[in-house]
Structure 1
Amino acid sequence: MQLLEETPADWWEVEALYDLCFAPGREALSSYRLRDHVDPVAALCLLLRDQNGIAAAIRYWPVQVAGADLLLLGPIAVHPTHQGEGLGGWLIRESLARARDQGWARVLLVGDAPYYSRFGFARLDNVVMPPPTNPARVLGLELVPGAWDGVQGNVTPYAPMLEK
């Protein structure tokens, strides 16, 4: 199994994996509106490839809460023939370590707390994803101690400051 950064040539193969692993209409989810017209954080979009193709993939996107930059983790998927092998955990741990090394302070995701809590994610009561997101599934992780302190409000698309 090779751990690689996703390249533009991998895009459609990764999309096919997401189509295989998620329900039809996945792109109608509110988290996808936060990704519209925004490039993913390429250095954190990783995949695991074996002799048969992509076995697992993870992507990250920049978003903001009250002007604070953060990462939106997702989607992450593991091919059905590789589920239960720990590949998803491998991608999460590796990508979070890289995010920390690159200076990111906080990560957000929408997911199952019992699964993601083992990586340090916890419910964010004061961070609101666009509807119809279940608030109990809005989870965050501090890559820097105290990074979520005072960060509250609506999650909005990434809007970098324009240079003067």
Structure 2
Amino acid sequence: MTALPLVIRPEHPDDVQAIERLHARAFGPGRFARTAYRLREGAAALPELCFTALVGTYLVGSLRIGPAEAGGRPLLALGPITVDPSFANRGIGCALMQAGLDAARAGGHGLVVLVGDLPYYRRFGFSPVPMGRIVLPGPVDPARFLWLQLADGACEGMVGAVIAARVNPSPSAG
């Protein structure tokens, strides 16, 4: 963990502008064309699964998790996770991931997907989605499309196109 005086807390409504500035610094203007962003269009993240990282009063990281579904079955879409580039490699992303995944498990959710680097996300238990099981709404390197089963059996029978959900998924199923 980082030696910084780091505070991980739930995202507050007044964090939105700082988070948007953080996304712009970390990902640039091309972020809106990425498949992961396209998946989240029109769907709000779940407030109980969104966290921020602060050093003092400075927002240095953010994690959002939102509802999605595949084949009519609920799941969660993790992302974006963002850490201010000047605070990279200090354990902030790991702390945010742990907070988000712990909250998702505690909320009874079953499956979470993301687009990211397997060497990083493997430490949290993520693995590549098997080819042909579920697909995203745009191009993505199959080695970067990952999932994590939070509850036994959540991956079984999960097939179809992943779309953003407009309503909260049932925690027992998703």
Q: Which amino acid aligns with 1:41?
A: L
In structure 1, C-alpha distance between the alignment counterparts of 2:42 and 2:14, rounded to whole Å: 19
* 1:160 shift after superposition: 4.0
* 1:52 shift after superposition: 5.0
Alignment of 1:153-164 (within 5 A): 153-160=160-167
Structure 1: which 5+ residue stretches go unaligned? Answer: none
Moved over 4 A (4+): none
Q: Which amino acid aligns with 2:162?
A: V
**Relative contact order (C-alpha < 8 Å, sep 6+): which is higher?**
2
Question: Conserved in 2, the CA contact under 8 Å of 1:106 and 1:147?
Answer: yes
1:142 pairs, out of 118, 129, 149, with 149
Structure 2: which 5+ residue stretches go unaligned? Answer: 1-5, 169-174
TM-score, L = length of structure 1: 0.92
Q: Deviations over 1:50-92 (max 9, x none)?
A: 1251111100111101111111000011112211111101110
Question: Conserved in 1, the CA contact under 8 Å of 2:8 and 2:95?
Answer: no
In structure 2, C-alpha distance between the alignment counterparts of 1:100 and 1:154, rounded to whole Å: 23
TM-aligned CA distance change 1:4 to 1:148, over 3 Å: same
Task: Percent identity, please.
Answer: 37
Question: Conserved in 2, the CA contact under 8 Å of 1:128 and 1:135?
Answer: no
SS in structure 2 at match of 1:34: helix
In structure 1, C-alpha distance between the alignment counterparts of 2:138 and 2:120, rounded to whole Å: 22
* 1:31 shift after superposition: 2.2
Answer with 127-136 or 42-51: which moved more.
127-136
Calculate the aligned-residue CA RMSD, in Å: 1.5
SS in structure 1 at match of 2:54: strand
